[in-house]
Structures are given as C-alpha cells and as structure tokens.
Amino acid sequence: MAEFMTEQIRNLAVLGHSGAGKSSLLEALLFEGKAFPQKGRVDKGTNHADFTAQEKDHRHSLEPSFLYLDIDNHHINFIDTPGLPDFFGRALLPLPGVETVLLVINATTGIETITQRAFEAARAQGKVVLIAINHIDGNGDKLATLLDDIQTNLGPRCLPVNLPNVRLDDVIDCYLHPEPQLQGEALFHDVVSARDELIDTVLEEDDELMALYLEQGEILTPEQLHAPLEVALRRGHLVPICFTSAETEVGIAALLELIIKLCPNPLEGNRQQFIKGAGEKAVRVEVIPSADAHVLAQVFRVTIDPFFGRMGIFRVHQGTVHLGMKLFVGDERKPFKVNNLFKLQGDKQIAVTSAIPGDICAVSKIDELTVGAVLHDSHDEDEFRMPELDLPEPIFGLAVSAKRRGDEQKIAEVLNKLVVEDPSLHIAKNEAEGQTILQGQGDLHLHIALEKAHELFNVDMDTDVPAVAYRETITSTAQARYRHKKQSGGSGQFGEVMLAIEPLPRGAGFEFVSKVVGGAVPSQYIPAVEKGVKEAMNCGTLAGYPMQDVRVSLLDGKHHSVDSKEIAFVMAGKKAFIEAVQAASPVILEPIVEMKVQVAQEHVGDITGDISANRGIICGTQALDNNRVEVAVEAPLATVDDYSTRLKSLTGGDGQFSISFSRYDVVPEHIQRELVASAKRD
C-alpha cells in the first residue's frame, strides 16, 4: 500500500434504508477508482461488501463491512452498513470512527424510516452528512419533489451540489467547477441559482470573505471557500446533496470528486472526544491527531471467528500504531503485542506495518477487545474511555434454552460472543420464569443471530416467546426502618437502617444517596446497604419484576461494635426497602413501543381497528406515494409480539412496519391485578 498523511484520508460510513443501493453505490465508486477490476453485483451475490455466507444467502447487508480506495493521492475508507430496520444498531457502530456519513436515498421510494433515523443519529454525533440520491435512472419525474421533501424533512440547508441533466446521462456540478451553465441543461432547478445559494450558505461562516464577495464582486474559487465550507459542514449548516445511479454509473465520478474535495479529513472534522476519569471527576478530553503523540485508538467493531479468534477494527485518533509495538486495552495492566496489523478490503486482510492518526485498521487474536475499548501505549491514558454509543433499546425477545442436555455452558459462551459482536443485542435473565432472554430489535434480528450461532458456532437452541419485560416502580414517597439481628453463639449479626424512597422521572433509573450523619452507619457498611437495596430491586415486590426509577436515601441507622457485619447491613437494607416500597403505592410498568405501519389505502381501516382493539393509540397518518399510507402508532409491547403475523393476515402480506422502544408506562389496573395474581400462583 502507498503511504499517506492524515490530511489525505477520508472516512465515510454509508447509511440508508434497505434498498437504497448502498452496497451497489460502493461497488460503483470502487470500480470507478480502480480498486477492483470489475464491478460486483448485489443481485448476483458478487458484491465485495456482502461477503459472509449469511449475507449471500439473504441478499442483504447484515454486518458493517470495510473497504478502501486509493485515488489521486488520497486514501478513502468506506464502511458499508445494514439498512434493514432490525439492524440499525449495527449500522450505528462505525459512527465514532468516521468524520462523514454518506446518506443514500432511493429516488424511487424517497425518505424512509432509516433515512430519518440515520440523519438524526449522524448529526447528534457531530458527523458531516453528504446525501446521495441514488437510482435516478428512470425516476426523473420524482427528483424535484424528492429534493423538496428532503429540505422539508431534513432541513432547508440540504442543498444540491450537482444536478442531473435533462437526459439523465450526466450530472452538472454547481460548486466545484466555474461556469456550470456551460455543462448543459439541468433536468430541474436553476444551476446558477443553486451555485449562488451554496456560496451564500458557505460565506455565512466567514464575514471577511462575504464582504470581499459582496463589495468587490470577486469570483471565489473552491480553494478560497474551503475553510468556511468545512465549518459549515461541521456545524450542519450545509448538507450537500448529489445525484447518482449505481447501475448506469451516472454521477459516480462526480461523487468521488466531492468526497475528496468536500468531505473533511481527520484534521478538519469534529474530533471525537474522550472521557478521562469516572463519576464526578470525569472530564472530556479532546485529543490532537498528532502522529508523534501517545497512541489513542478506539475499537468500534469486533468480530469473533471460531477458527481465527477475535478481531477488532479500530480508528487511530492520536499517535501511530506500529507492527510489533505493545498496546494496553483500557485499564488492563498487561499489554498485548501488535503481531497482526492489517486493512480490510471486504473479506480480504491486507497486511500493513503502521496506522497513522485518522486511519482505520484491524488487529486479531486479542481476546480482551470489545466495542468501545480504548487502545493506548502509555499508562498516562489508563483512565481514558469513550462516551457510550447511544444504541436503540431492544424491543423483541426470545427465551432461549439448550436443545441438548449439557449444552448450557456452551450456549452461554456463544450468546456472549453474539453480544460482543453486536451490542444492540442484549441478554437478560427472567429470574421469576427461569428464562434466559435474547433481546434485539425484531424477530429478524434475533433470527439472524440464532442462525449465526448454528452455522458458525455449531450451537442449536430451543426458543419460546418470553414473558414481557415488565418493570415495577413506586408512585409516592415512604420511609421504613428495619433492624436485622441474629444471635447464634459467639458474635452475631446486627445492623439497623432507616431508608426514605421517592419516585424518579420515568427512565431515570436508580439513585442511592447517603444522608447519614454522626457515623450512625459506619462508612464501610454503606455500600452493603446499597447492595441490599439493589438485591430487593432486582426481585421487585409486587410480581417479581425488576424495579426502576427510584431514589433511595439512607437517613439513619445503628451499629454494634462487635456484631455489625456487612451481611447484616445487606439484609437490613433489603428488608427496609421492601417495607418502604409496600407503603409507596407500587405499580407495574410495561414497555410502550412506537410503530410505523405502511399499508395500501384500502387496508388503513383494518389496521387502525386492530391497533385500537389491542390497547394501541393511533398518533397520525401520512399519505405516501403509490396509494399507500403510513400509520404512526403507540402500543404496549405485550400486544404486538405477534404483530407481523396479524399484519400479514390483515393485508394479504402487503403491509410492512418498523418498531422502536418509546418508554415504560403504568399498566391498566385490571392487568396489574392479573400479573400480581399470576405471580402469587407461581
């Protein structure tokens, strides 16, 4: 591989709804840049991004995949991501490793669920967004309306940097090249007006340059505009839009030029901030991408192969990683040696000797690697970590168990590997039902995970519909005092505590506060009280469901110089908490989900009737193209575990829906009585 400097690197994550043509667009870009001798095709299973057996079988991107292109003294790292709603969590994993999100929109279907979610996630993380409207061939009549829709839904600062010509066989540049009117006639919009609007938007970031432009009528070059352009991109004040066809390759060369000349390099983009320390002492640290500084890198993707072990893909934020050097993982005291360092080109591993700031590389056979792990070469950075990635909450679950007796431990290990690879999967324990629950974004998400467990790790599991993930909380304040005293010869056990509890806002979790004065409960026993409270919260008090949204204050207590022990205060904290909860009007919470259901107009009445009959609420409807309607719904998760089957029945297989966790809310009183009665019977 050629050697590059940091300012020559471009890093892009390619996001968009399934069917937008992300993988096909990447194939066209890589073929245009001569990374591959021929262009792979998704429909034939030959594209370089979808290379796993599962992806070839399902004909969908299921995992983030990594490709790169060396062109015109630039090194471009592309990360292809899944577009199916069930795999949106996986699509978000690469964002900490890039400066730019290339958001691909299908000109045929327009803005879809993942389009909006991906745009919002990218901007929330400070990523530059470049929009590519793909599949323009055959959709010329829709493009002007789609541009209006993008500006309405994603913001008026989404501006075209090129426009398709009237024949749809080329695009006309509106920014990088002077006199765009000489390039032909645009299919819609006015090219000169589009250029003026772009320049005006960029100049808002530089008053002096704006004055030069207005007062002297200077024709500004892209080089003069580069600095304010990068500011506008970083702040989200400009979101460039370009037009492409991966099939006919229209706009592909122009898109490559835009990536090189518009997208920020790692020195220009919004820098990823690290956090140093923990708790109240935690401070945000902005690292400098200097090649000579201490190494700081972040692992943002992990894969586990039964034969080749664990591989971690990482982004270098500071310093230079060299083959043979020693690196620490997080706060681990023992370093590992970088024996394998490589770039990923689809399913191929290309060996390299170093990785400079801004580059994306991989190491293998390091068992300690996890998503979010910080790699560093000095104990000065032991306390450095990354902000937690905001992944979507799991909304579906399957109870899993061993198909063969004696496989329980093996299943636990495989489930842990699946979660390490995909942190949007969760493993939960339902102690009341004795179930292990694999949780994810939908039935397809879980099906693919279990399929991988079978095909890659040779583990089969029985599955069942799990109990709904109910929670418990309180609705009023209360206090309780409890004394734990036990004497059985010799030293006994003694601990007494007084607790106050109060409800927290929904979703706030749990807080424990010590307000003890005068040493009534010695400081060494306060963690034991909190431990007892947490044990009680895990088991609930009404129907055995975990508790949340509670603040517990330790007010007072007593201890004994001989008999007080940690176990005594654990038991006292646990019993005092249970008594307080019983006086604080406890209730059961259920998960509420948001759904967007797309159906033909003639099925809307059936859909809304079914939703309303199952405790759902219709939040609104929106007319779509092709006589279709999107219905926005809020519903209890307990009523939609079979919704895919119901939807198929109501629409003859024509409907589709996406679902996301919204919040927890109090169950109706009659359902709470049923849940409590069922818990007592069990």
pLDDT in tens, 619-669: 999 988 777 899 999 999 889 877 877 887 888 767 778 777 888 999 999
Antiparallel, parallel or unpaired: β 239-243 and 158-160: parallel
Compute the average pLDDT of residues 264-291.
86
For residue 385, give Cα distances in angstroms to 364, 368, 425, 468: 21, 15, 22, 34
pLDDT computed for residue 246 by the predictor: 92
Q: Quick: pLDDT tens for 518-553.
A: 888 998 999 999 999 999 998 889 988 889 999 999
Average pLDDT, the chain: 89
Do residues 435 and 466 make contact, with C-beta atoms less than 8 angstroms apart? yes
Among 323-337, 353-367, 653-667, which is the least confidently predicted range?
A: 653-667
Q: How far apart are the first and last CA of the chain?
A: 65
pLDDT at 675 > cutoff 70: yes
Q: Which position has the token pair 């020559």?
A: 8
Higher-confidence position of 277 and 348: 348
Compute the average pLDDT of residues 78-91.
92
218 falls in which pLDDT band (50, 70, 90)? low
In degrees, rounded to 5, the angle at the alpha carbon of residue 145 between the alpha carbons of residues 139 and 149 is 120
Among 31-45, 86-100, 355-369, 580-594, which is the least confidently predicted range?
A: 31-45
pLDDT computed for residue 320 by the predictor: 95
CB atoms within 10 A of CB 517: 9
Strand partners, 239: 158
Residue 66: helix, strand or coil by DSSP? Answer: strand
Compute the average pLDDT of residues 344-370.
93
Antiparallel, parallel or unpaired: β 9-15 and 74-80: parallel
216 falls in which pLDDT band (50, 70, 90)? low
pLDDT at 432 > cutoff 60: no
pLDDT computed for residue 370 by the predictor: 92
pLDDT at 405 > cutoff 70: yes
pLDDT computed for residue 2 by the predictor: 67
- Name residue 293's amino acid: A
Do residues 157 and 239 make contact, with C-beta atoms less than 8 angstroms apart? yes
Tell me how far apart the alpha carbons of residues 301 and 299 are, in angstroms, rounded to a whole number.
6
Q: Could you tell me what percent of the chain has a pLDDT over 70? A: 97
Higher-confidence position of 180 and 378: 378
In degrees, rounded to 5, the angle at the alpha carbon of residue 300 between the alpha carbons of residues 284 and 125 is 50
CB atoms within 10 A of CB 640: 22
Compute the average pLDDT of residues 398-405.
85
Tell me how far apart the alpha carbons of residues 242 and 616 are, in angstroms, rounded to a whole number.
40
pLDDT computed for residue 667 by the predictor: 95
Q: Which position has the token pair 């030959």?
A: 46
Q: Which of 153, 157, 23 is nearest to 83 (CA)?
A: 23
pLDDT computed for residue 129 by the predictor: 97
Q: What are the strands of the beta sheet with 65-71, ordered from one edge?
A: 65-71, 74-80, 9-15, 100-106, 128-134, 239-243, 158-160
Compute the average pLDDT of residues 34-61.
85
- Name residue 369's amino acid: L
Tell me how far apart the alpha carbons of residues 15 and 89 are, in angstroms, rounded to a whole number.
12
pLDDT at 605 > cutoff 70: yes
